[in-house]
Amino acid sequence: MTEQTLTVRFFARLREELGTEQLTLPADGEQTAGDLLAALASRGGPWAQLQGGQPVMIAINQAMAKPGSPVKAGDEVAFFPPVTGG
């Protein structure tokens, strides 16, 4: 059986400050986007900003989501700063 994973992507200021564009993480059963943020923030250093820092937007499978939204194996979860296009 293959390992159950999910993909995490970062954009813009977060991508630069974390020095990371994409991560593959194990997907453990009952998990929300907020749980994922908390786990990443506990890495410390620049990662700490993911909790309690500037606002972080969440998308799951390219649709806007909330901290309470569930994430599961195979999902693409993205974290990014508020958008500034146009």
Residues contributing to the site for other proteins (CB under 8 A): 9, 11-13, 15-16, 59, 62-64, 78, 80-86
Query: Rounded distance, CA 32 to CA 11, Å?
Result: 20
Task: State the nearest-atom distance from the C-beta of 1 to other proteins, in Å.
Answer: 29
Q: Which is nearer to other proteins, 40 or 77 (CB)?
A: 77
User: If you compute the radius of gyration of the chain from its CA atoms, what whole number of angstroms results?
Assistant: 12
Take residue 69 and report the two structure tokens written for it: 């939204």
Instruction: Output helix, strand, coil percentages for the chain, rounded to the nearest 5.
Output: 25, 30, 45
* Smaller CB separation from other proteins, 1 or 63: 63
The nearest distance, CB 84 to other proteins, in angstroms, is 4
